[in-house]
Amino acid sequence: MKRKTGIIILIIGILIVSKFWIGIFTHDEFGGKDIFIKHRPIWKTFFYSPRGMSDLKLSEISTEKQNEQRLFDEFVLENRKIE
């Protein structure tokens, strides 16, 4: 019984740590999903670009989408090379 409890706690711990350090983003041009390692821990797992490949300026989209675009820029464009 103690062994099962220990294994369950270990699995839950690994899942929580991976939630903070592993991210998934949707490619802004082709729409494919890729997995990446985040450069800092954050609870958010799924990243996408609300602008996509359009020429919209950040000030032309809603505040919620601006925040999403900033996170996409920080985690995907600046700290991970898109191939």
Helix (H, G, I), strand (E, B) or coil at 36: strand
Helix (H, G, I), strand (E, B) or coil at 26: strand
Position 52 pLDDT exceeds 90: no
Nearest in space to 38 (alpha carbons), one of 65, 67, 78: 78
Instruction: Pull the structure tokens for residue 64.
Output: 């919620």
Q: Where are the domains of the chain?
A: 2-77
**Are the CB atoms for 59 and 37 separated by under 8 Å?**
no
pLDDT computed for residue 71 by the predictor: 94
Position 81 pLDDT exceeds 80: no
In 10 A of CB 48, how many CB atoms?
Answer: 19
Position 13 pLDDT exceeds 70: yes
Instruction: Pull the structure tokens for residue 48.
Output: 């996408």
